[in-house]
Each structure stands twice: as structure tokens, then as C-alpha cells.
Structure 1
Amino acid sequence: LLEAKSRLEMSTKLEQLLTPSEYDEVVKRLQILHMLDQGIPQRKIAETLGVGIATVSRGARARKDRL
């Protein structure tokens, strides 16, 4: 993964490494972080992405820990 030089290459490597459902989960979690960074409310994120509020809250905690 560290050798990937583009988004496409990273995506291809992740698709080879993960099952389709794992890949989709990673994508959703990255979307959660991106939406949190944009200031979108947690409940709106959960509704938009079709995930539970606990999943969004977990992302918010991870985001807070990385800052």
C-alpha cells in the first residue's frame, strides 16, 4: 500500500487485499471522516450514508484522537 503512487493504484491494491464488503466499509468510514471534517452533523451523516449513529460516533472519536 505504501508503494501506491496514485488514488487509482491505492484503490486497486485495496480491492485486491479486501473482500468487497470490507472495501465498501473502508470507503464509508473514509466518507464519514470527510463529512465530519466538513462540519456535517453526525445524524445527517448516518442518514446520508445509511450507517448507524454509533458508526459515525466512532469515526468522530477517531477524528478527535488524531487531532
Structure 2
Amino acid sequence: MTDDPYKTELIHHLLAIDTADAMDSALENLLTPAEYQEISKRLQIFKLLNEGVAHRKIAELLGVGIATVSRGSRALRDTH
């Protein structure tokens, strides 16, 4: 767990949410539309990387830069 009390509070807040609709509402209230969209795309990057899709194809499919996909790839590598 993180030593940052703000992150800890955020994690506990999100863990207390028990439905998809409530989570969607909470995320819409916490994030700007652009932030919500960016996080959603980052999750898709992880999913597509795990499926073995090429970096350039992911960038094309999601409308993101290749650097964004590469950053996602590094993040996945660092968690495994």
C-alpha cells in the first residue's frame, strides 16, 4: 500500500463503491471528461498489449501516440 495518505483515501473511497453505475458516477465526479477518457484508453492499451497486439496497431486503433503505447508497455513490464 502507498504511504501517501491522499492516495490511500482515494483507494478506500473507490473500494467502497459497489456497483458499476456508482463507480461510473464517482469517476465522472472525480475526473474531467478528458482524464476519464485517457484512463479508459490506458486500460485498453494494457488489454491489447496482453493480447499481443503490435504497438503501432494499438496506437492506430485507440488514436493515441506510439509513445503512449510504449509507456503502457513499460508500465506492464514493471508490474510483472
Q: TM-score, normalised by structure 2?
A: 0.77
Number of equivalent positions: 67
Distance (whole Å) between structure 2 residues aligned to residue 10 and residue 64 of structure 1 = 28
The answer for the alignment partner of 1:30 in structure 2 is 43
Write out the 4+ residue segments of structure 1 that deviate beyond 3 Å after TM superposition: none
What is the alpha-carbon distance in structure 2 between the residues aligned to residue 21 and residue 66 of structure 1?
25
CA shift digits 1:9-56 (9 cap, x unpaired): 322211110000110010011110011111111110000001000000
TM norm structure 1: 0.91
Which blocks of at least 5 consecutive residues in structure 2 are unaligned? 1-13
Q: CA RMSD in A?
A: 1.0
Identity over aligned residues, as a percent? 57
* 2:15 is equivalent to residue 2 of structure 1: yes
